[in-house]
Structures are given as structure tokens and as C-alpha cells.
Amino acid sequence: MAERLVTFEQDGAIGTVTLRRPEKFNALDIPMLRALEAALDEAESAEGVRVVLICGEGKGFCAGGDVEAWGGMSAADFQVQWVRYGHRVFDRLARLRQPIIAVLSGHALGGGLELAVACDFRVAETQVKLGFPETSIGVVPGWSGTQRAVRRLGAQTVRRMAVGGEIFLAAEALALGIVDRIVETGKASGEAKTWAEKIAERGPLAIEAAKLMIAVAEGEESAAATEALASGFIALTGDLKAGVGSFKTKQKPVFSRS
């Protein structure tokens, strides 16, 4: 059996999703996106996981979309198989129930930065470079770099990268709010785990609810988040138990509003 391109591992309350294509600096192609989607499903369903780390094997976090993977696609395939599918996977990441910390021990460029921005927090090592260089080869950020990134990082910061072509080092990225913490080379994983452990000590349901409410405020997912919060509240009530019980016994329910 071939080695998996993206893996999920659990260590107590901390889950780790690892991109494993180091020979390509973890550049994303369709098989990588499929493997990432499967690993996120594992992470969300894993019992006891309260925080998820996402990192890249080798020297790079993620070099973005693999040009060789999409360069020969037709316009229709590029739109549907590449851009829209990538959006779906990145939306899956952004809407994971657990908080996610991107561990940037290597460069995060193009789709790699879009991947990091879909996470809740970013820890970067000092040597890391971040940016949206797509326009240098005649394309635009296609996996929410002009949408989610603008909401989370601000329009002018994204404009400087996507239009102005600026590539930021970690210290500049920290000042601009692109990353949340910077550490020395080799220390990102340890810093992220320490941070994750502190988050994991907090009330898990409160953390999930807070993440959902923030997502609503920033326009990440209004309808789904509202229904999830309301349904979770109703699930704890006596009215739900009465309704389900009456369905089973085929009797009229008696609701107590408790």
C-alpha cells in the first residue's frame, strides 16, 4: 500500500494533520486535496481531539498548488476540478469544529498561504516567507486568497501580496497580522503544541460555540453555523426528549419548555 499523502495522528487531545509530499515542498494536487479532505474527516470525528495542528513534512509548509497538476487542464476542468474542489476542501478546513493551528516551519506561498489562512491560528518560524505570487505567472489566487484572506487579514495586506507582489518574512507578517506568533527555526512545532495544550484545557463546547459565532461574524458560514448552534441548544432540552419519546410511543408529546 502506498504511503499516504496526508496523515492524521492523535496524541491525547491534540490531533496532527501532516502534508507528506516533501519532494515537492508539499505542493497540492488533486490526490493531495483528496487526502487532506479525508484527514480532516478523521480529525473531526476522532474522539477526544480538541485542537488540530496542520503541518508540512520536510522544509516547506506548502508551496501552493502544483503547477504541473493544473497547467495542462482545460478551462472547464480548471474551474471545476481545480478551483471549485480546492475551495470545497479549504472550506472543510475552515469549518472544522476544533480550533486549528497552522505550524509554519517552512514557506507558505499561494495556495499554501490560503491553506494557512483557513486555519484559526498561525505559528511561523523566523525564516518563513509568506505571499500570494500567483499573478507573476498570470493567474490569480483561486482558493479563497481574495475572499477569506481579505476577511481575515484585511484588504490592503492581501492587495500588497496579490497585486503588489510583496513576499513577507515572518516578522513582517506578524506586524501585519498574517501570523499570530513567530519563533526561532525549529521551534514552531513545540510552540504550537504548547499553545494547543492550553486551548485544550478550556471548555470544549464553549470553544466550539465561540468558533462558530466568530465564523458568523466574519461571514464564514452564517446559515450552517446558526442552525448548528440552535440545534445544539435544542438537543439539550427536555422538549426534544419528550418529542422523540412520543414519536416512539405514538402518543401526543407533552412539552415542558425545560
Report the 3 state secondary structure along 99-127: CEEEEECCCEECHHHHHHHCCCEEEEECC
Predicted pLDDT of residue 255: 67
Annotated active-site positions, please? 114, 134
- How many other C-beta atoms lie within 10 A of the C-beta of residue 1? 3
Q: What is the pLDDT of residues 193-229, one digit of tens each?
A: 999 999 999 999 999 999 999 998 988 777 666 777 7
pLDDT tens sequence across 95-130: 999 999 999 999 999 999 999 999 999 999 999 999
pLDDT, position 178? 98
User: What gap in Å lies between CA 231 and CA 88, rounded to an integer?
Assistant: 24
In this prediction, the residues of the chain whose per-residue pLDDT falls under 50 are: 1-2
pTM attached to this predicted model: 0.89
Buried b (16+ CB within 10 A) or exposed e, 212-232: beebeeeebbeeebeebeeee
